[in-house]
Chains A and B, each alone.
Chain A
Amino acid sequence: MGPYNITDSDVQEVLEQNHLVATSINKLPKSGQRQVFEVTFDNGKSSILKFVDISPYITFQRYNWNELSGNEFEQERIYEIEARSKRIIRELKASKKCPILPQLEILDEHQIFEKNEYQFIFYFETKFEGQTLDRSELYQQQQNTNTIINFLYQMVKQIKIMHDAGYVHRDLTPRNIIYSQGQFKIIDAGLVKSNEEEKLTGTRIEIGTPYYMAPEQAKRTSDYSWDFRTDLFPLGLIAIEIFLPKTRYLDKEKIRDMHYIFPIWKSKDSSPKSVQLFSKIIFRLATEQRHRRWSNLDELLYELENLTGEEKK
């Protein structure tokens, strides 16, 4: 059983089930596990329709290899679908509680789309204008320290809102941030976690995008106390990537070695403001030791504001 690609007629079927009429359906690039469509309705409004594959691939494989009896197959199939659904349901729950994340619209809750043996969760989500950071023009052009400060300021504010709502994102990457006309927005809350939630990941399973994820994500057990500091780490790395495009091709060890990065940073801009940005902010975001990262988001925002103020002076 191979992966199934959702077609325009599948989308049409879903729309009809919900008595919705679209004037256009536009397939967008996949976002992780999600197949994404932009749907425009007759009132001119567009919305993002996402399908998340929760099909029980492993169960089917085991059944085909005769590892499961008929009864076991049904039990395992239900179990696998439930397990695959958990993460997305958690994301949708987080979105409801956390106003900065994309919000559900058109339909109040997610729904299930079945196609033969395949199963998908689907839902409509607010459309954000812009492109993911890695595809944006901002990423393709040289940027100065002001852009970095602006990026960090907006992102830290969003992380603070998530933190206040009790969530940690745990998968911030340039693909999970939308950029449009000076505005940055976190999307894709796939790994958001609240410490009050049940443990959804098994012990020592890596969670996140390895290149950007904080070291504690690779080695900590499922009862680890997550907090916003885990989200600050990728923020530091992404800021470095925006400012220093050539670091995007560094291996994981090098991009995390601040003593390697600093001379490159300084060779691009050795002004006091740039050096201060690195030493006061970037280092204390992208340091591998969690306890050395900023432990107070208000203080971090204040420091960023001060750096913005330096310019005005």
Chain B
Amino acid sequence: MIFAQHGPAWKPKMERFLMNKLIDGVIWDPREESIDRIKEVRKSDPEYSLIENMIDLKVYYKQFSSSIPKRLSELAYFPENDIDRAFLRNTENINHLVDTSIDFQVDFDVNVLMAPSLYLYSFNDRIVDKLFDMWEVFDDYVTRKEISKSKYVSIIFNESALENKSYIADFLDDFSNISHKFDGIYITIDRENNNKHRHDFNPNKLNGMIQFIYDLKNLGLKVVIGYVGIESVLYFAVGADAIGTGWFYSLRNFNKEQKGLEPVEGMGRQKKRYTSMKMLYELAIEDEIFSIPVEYEDELYERILSDCELDDKILKGNIENINLNDIYQQYFEALKQIIDDISKEDGIENKLRRVNELLDTAESNIARYNELHPLQKINGKHIGNYKDALGKFQEDNFIFL
């Protein structure tokens, strides 16, 4: 399932996605928009009640004293004081945070109740125990309030936390004592900001992530990963149930600087990109598609275009004719086709087989592109990294295709 990751300039985009049935839900961001405004829009458009609605509470903004909480400060559950160890030591604080965040979500009429999350730099962070305590309080309150909605825990961690497998194992071992109390988990990875390649992922950390998802699935949880992009095909390969993704790159990749947790530099002008699931790559339309030599257009278009509404406009070749909302829709369309395909596959072996095929196809399509269009090469190193991560996962878990 694909959930729209709520973000700036959301209304027309959501309407378009809903109209075209491209999303299965929305992960609302109360930092970006006033709750009254969201409620008003939801009330006026019945389509919103046909999909899943959940909220990313973003309590962790209070762990960063210089963060920019925007509209979060207006919300009753959002703590006034910084969340530090002194805050977490006080049981009253935890109880109040959990209690008010549940009431807030019930009032917002979510389908899934989310426990507050804390930002972890590492899975052996000193606050992990406090996070577990908070989740148990959450379970207790939901039970006491007799709310019959699904209960999800939520977690946000730095990408570097995925490197230490033994810390992850200890975290999961402890979590497995209480995991049966919950229906699912919502995960956000704070991606490092040092990679110029928008789809790349260090294979060791990516392996840590897919193993993490697989282990959580084996604990019987539904797994939703927020702020992700094309790499999410790997998450679905190991059983993820849903992802949150959005129109802007900043909604496909969470980075704490860009997200106002820490100071940020301005972002550049947005390029119009075509999401090719045949290459697992977002090609800049002008630079990487319209520049293809005429004699290779037929072959390379076949290797790029992913059977989306936008394809006609691409074939016509006029960039002015393509607006940003077209490309946002195309991204969701392309991703949804593949994700629905993978999700339909029965059993992990079939899902993995399907994703391995996708990776092979992408690899050969990128290689052929680079061969025929040597002036505008596509950097396909991410495919190699995806393959490495997936290969190691299969080996570690004795999964034979």
Contact = CB atoms under 8 A, between A and B. Distances in A.
B398 A289 contact: no
Interface string A261-300: 0100000000000010011000110000111101110000
Given A278-B398, A291-B219, A216 B177 contact: no
A175 B183 CA distance: 39
A291 B215 contact: yes
B176 A291 contact: yes
B220 interface: yes
A155 interface: no
Interface residues of A, number: 18
Given A292-B218, A295-B220, A279 B172 contact: no
B315 interface: no
Nearest to A262: B398
B399 A290 contact: no
Interface string A116-153: 00000000000000000000000000000000000000
A225 interface: yes
Given A275-B400, A289-B173, A290-B173, A296 B215 contact: no
A39 interface: no
Contacts of B169: 289, 291
A278 B398 CA distance: 8
Contacts of A227: 177
Interface in A227-283: 227, 229, 258, 262, 275, 278-279, 283
B177 A296 contact: no
Contacts of B179: 295
B397 interface: yes
Contacts of A292: 215, 218
Interface string B149-190: 000000000000000000001001101110110000000000
Nearest to A289: B169
Interface string A59-82: 000000000000000000000000
B397 A283 contact: yes
Contacts of A275: 400
A296 B220 contact: yes
Chain A contact residues: helix, strand, loop or mixed = helix
A290 B397 contact: no
A199 B215 CA distance: 30
A195 to B, nearest CB: 10
B398 A216 contact: no
Contacts of B399: 279
Most chain B CB within 10 A, of A283, A294, A295, is at A295
A296 B217 CA distance: 11
Most chain A CB within 10 A, of B172, B176, B177, B398, is at B398
Interface in B280-295: none
B220 A290 contact: no
Given A289-B172, A291-B219, A295-B179, 12 more contacts: A216-B173, A225-B177, A227-B177, A262-B398, A284-B218, A290-B173, A290-B176, A291-B172, A292-B215, A295-B176, A295-B180, A295-B218
The 9 closest A-B pairs by CB, nearest first: A279-B398, A291-B172, A291-B176, A225-B177, A283-B398, A291-B173, A295-B219, A289-B169, A290-B173
Interface of B: 169, 172-173, 175-177, 179-180, 215, 218-220, 397-400
16 contacts: A216-B173, A227-B177, A229-B176, A275-B400, A279-B397, A279-B398, A279-B399, A283-B397, A291-B176, A291-B219, A294-B218, A295-B176, A295-B179, A295-B218, A295-B219, A296-B220
